[in-house]
Amino acid sequence: MDLIAHLRYFIAVAEELHFGRAAARLHMSQPPLSQRIQRLERHFGLRLFDRSARAVNLTGAGQLLLVEARDLVARAAVLDELAGQLRSEGINVLRAGLPPDVPGTTVAALAAEFAARQPAVTLRLQESAPAVQHRALVEQRLDAAVLRLPFDTARLALGPVVQRPLGVLIAGNDPLAGHPELLLSVLAPLALVIFRRSTAPAVFDEILDTCARHGYRPSTVHEVSSTEFGRGLVMAGGAVAFDDGALAPPAGAVWRPVTGQPLAARLATVWPRGRDNPAVHAFAETATVVLQREAGMSVVGPVRPGTALRARPTSEFLPWGAP
Amino acid sequence: MTPGQPVLARIRATFDAAGVSGWLHAVDIDRASEVELRADEPVVLASVFKVPLVVAFFRAAEDGRLDPRAPVTVPLAERSGGPTGIAAMLDPVTISLRDLAYLALTVSDNAAADVLADHVGLDNVAETLDALGLHRTRVPLLTRDVAALTREDLDEQRGLVTDPAAVSRLRVLDPLTSNRSTARDCTRLLALIWRDEAAGPASCGAIRRLLSLQVWPHRLASGFPFDDVSVAGKTGTLPTIRNEIGVVEYPDGGRYAVAVFTRSTSTALNLPRADAAIGLAARLAVEHLREQSSD
């Protein structure tokens, strides 16, 4: 018996709770589907479904097995995909992701340096939205990536973290552009141009919360999907955008640092937990070196100096007990 | 299955807006209707494990294996740490076993829970879980074990608890090693307590009283701003993990068991949005169950 195939039949019936609909979804007729479910029940020595004239329901055992069945079928898909890749490209391929806004010079330097370190490994770089890249890592369709923090680290392992303080892009003819650096609070009359919250909610909230804490509560927040469009809004005047200053500001706009550096873009090298190998480590090291040299980022120690944690009793759990 | 779709979309949107991944199961205790979101996936219990611990304690007391009024002394040495209850006190404490259960459930007192567990035994907790059909719930760790594992994974550096790389290494956040359950198992446990089936009626009444005396207002209870609606529950918290399971009772007799588990993207210790999302998601689920029962 092909267990994975039979588990697929089981999952379809469990999701539809109707043999006819499940059969239609599987592009087969109902009798062979019923037979296969019965075969699976014999294989386990357990009934998976309660079948009455009017309804099909999962048994308790069926409910418990469904969870594991989904897991196994998902793992089988990863296995097939990996095997397909090995067939077409051989074993020495590293699938790696970069954030979409990394400057081209950084991408080129990373590719060249990785090739020098690991000449036998083909680096397949791709850029995509953070949420898409995160899912690909968790599902092991990517071997490594550089992702903007914070993100959910479940099932992932992190290498070095680099950061660059964020400054402000502002129209060159705005009176504030005359200052060498800007406090967040002086931006109060200006609108904020920022990436769409849905693409990275935690990063978005961190930025807006920090702005509010430092006295900048923009009355208008333009969420944009294109960096270029966002730059256009800044050039048009009356709005600012946060930017790490890696690229030259567009004509008609200037870049100014923020006093005290309350905001920073933090990037982590990351890979699926337990799936590291020399190529993954080489990618993480190369990315860290290149982001420092080409994009002006610096490695951050794990603990930021001067920020004492003030846990509240609602935290319930504190690693060293109460302070 | 499909009628639940709009409510699920709203619950998902609530979790997304708060920057958390969420797992939820809600069930009408007196009817079959339910709302489920990833309800069978394994989740980390954190301090929610104190509920099955206290259920096991009351069952042991019923069998005469423990005297719930027996005083025990909790010395200062080796006391499990935490910000509430005996865990935060400065002197030796003498207290009855059942009042340890009170502190463990109402203020999530780690020291009280560990001493109670030393008397009950984790093997008895496992036996209780099996007897109640909670096969996907396992409690292999006390709070002192969780603390020890965490210290080890953080290389003894407390400040690392909000560092994303360090958090990614925490074994206590992995449902395969930590105290674990599913949202569905948790509502089953609550329904058994509310139907007097988790133990004898007197014990179940005592457990319901303890859960209704929980002090925290920020999660499940925050979703139900009504003076005539009661919320009894137990929270659970670890870095990035915020949970609460509980029962919501309306004056018309409607009673609903809800289990909400979340994991935040941000590693910040204080995330009021994530706490509130637990209440909002629970309210969406409960209101959906109430609409169904009025059809």
Which tens digit of pLDDT belongs to each residue from B7-63?
999 999 999 989 999 999 999 999 989 999 999 999 999 999 999 999 999 999 999
* Contacts A320 to B, Cβ<8 Å: 81, 147, 151, 158
Per-residue model confidence (pLDDT) at position A217: 95
The backbone torsions φ and ψ at residue B33, rounded to the nearest 5 degrees and listed phi first, read -65, 150
Per-residue model confidence (pLDDT) at position B4: 45
Per-residue model confidence (pLDDT) at position B103: 98
User: Over 90: is that where the pLDDT of A111 sits?
Assistant: yes
**Does A319 contact B154 at a Cβ distance shorter than 8 Å?**
yes
Judged by a CB distance cut-off of 8 A, whether residue A138 touches chain B is no
Q: Do B109 and B87 form a contact (C-beta atoms < 8 A)?
A: yes
To the nearest 10°, the Cα dihedral for A24, A28, A33, A39? -150
Judged by a CB distance cut-off of 8 A, whether residue A223 touches chain B is no
Give me A110's structure tokens. 């990373």
Per the rule left: phi > 0, alpha: psi between -120 and 50, beta: everything else, B97 is: alpha
Give me A200's structure tokens. 């990275």
Residues 46-65 of B with CB under 8 A from A: 46-47
Per-residue model confidence (pLDDT) at position A40: 95
Poorest-pLDDT segment among A130-134, A229-233, B118-122, B199-203: A130-134
Nearest CB partner across the interface for B267, out of A66, A150, A321: A150
Q: What is the mean pLDDT of residues A106-125?
A: 93
Confidence bin at A320 (pLDDT 50/70/90) = low
Pairing of strands A167-171, B20-28: unpaired
Judged by a CB distance cut-off of 8 A, whether residue B273 touches chain A is yes
**Does A317 contact B151 at a Cβ distance shorter than 8 Å?**
no
The single-letter DSSP state of residue B161 is: G
Give me A268's structure tokens. 């982590």
**Does A198 contact B16 at a Cβ distance shorter than 8 Å?**
yes
Q: Is the interface score ipTM higher than 0.85?
A: no
**Does A316 contact B1 at a Cβ distance shorter than 8 Å?**
no
For A60, nearest residue in chain B (alpha carbons): B133
pLDDT in tens, B161-188: 888 889 999 999 999 899 999 999 999 9
Per-residue model confidence (pLDDT) at position A302: 64
User: Over 90: is that where the pLDDT of B277 sits?
Assistant: yes
Q: What is the mean pLDDT of residues A127-144?
A: 89
Poorest-pLDDT segment among A42-46, A89-93, A144-148, B231-235: A89-93
Q: What is the mean pLDDT of residues B131-138?
A: 95
pLDDT in tens, A214-256: 999 999 999 998 888 999 999 999 999 999 888 889 889 999 9
Chain B nearest CA to A278, separation (Å): 19
pTM, rounded to two decimals: 0.81
Give me A109's structure tokens. 């330097």
The backbone torsions φ and ψ at residue B143, rounded to the nearest 5 degrees and listed phi first, read -65, -30
Judged by a CB distance cut-off of 8 A, whether residue A287 touches chain B is no
User: Over 60: is that where the pLDDT of A303 sits?
Assistant: no
Per-residue model confidence (pLDDT) at position A306: 52
Q: Do B229 and B239 form a contact (C-beta atoms < 8 A)?
A: no
Chain A nearest CA to B169, separation (Å): 7
Q: What is the mean pLDDT of residues A198-207?
A: 87
**Does A303 contact B160 at a Cβ distance shorter than 8 Å?**
yes
**Does A202 contact B19 at a Cβ distance shorter than 8 Å?**
yes
Mean pLDDT of chain A: 89
**Does A158 contact B82 at a Cβ distance shorter than 8 Å?**
no
Q: What is the mean pLDDT of residues A157-180?
A: 94
Mean pLDDT of chain B: 94
Q: What is the mean pLDDT of residues B228-246?
A: 97
pLDDT over 90 for what percent of chain A? 59
Residues B23-62: b if buried by 16+ CB within 10 A, e if exposed? bbbbbbbeeebbbbbbbbbbbbbbbbbbbbbbbbbbbbbe
Per-residue model confidence (pLDDT) at position A323: 45
Judged by a CB distance cut-off of 8 A, whether residue A152 touches chain B is yes
Per-residue model confidence (pLDDT) at position B159: 81
pLDDT over 90 for what percent of chain B? 89
Q: For residue B276, what are the contacts with CB-CB under 8 A and spacing of at least 6?
A: B18, B218, B219, B222, B223
Q: What is the mean pLDDT of residues A143-170?
A: 92
CA dist A67 and A72 (Å) reads: 9
Q: What is the mean pLDDT of residues A166-181?
A: 95
How many angstroms separate the Cα of B35 from the Cα of each of B4, B134, B218, B274? Answer: 7, 19, 22, 20
**Does A318 contact B82 at a Cβ distance shorter than 8 Å?**
yes
Residues 2-41 of B with CB under 8 A from A: 16-17, 19, 21, 40-41
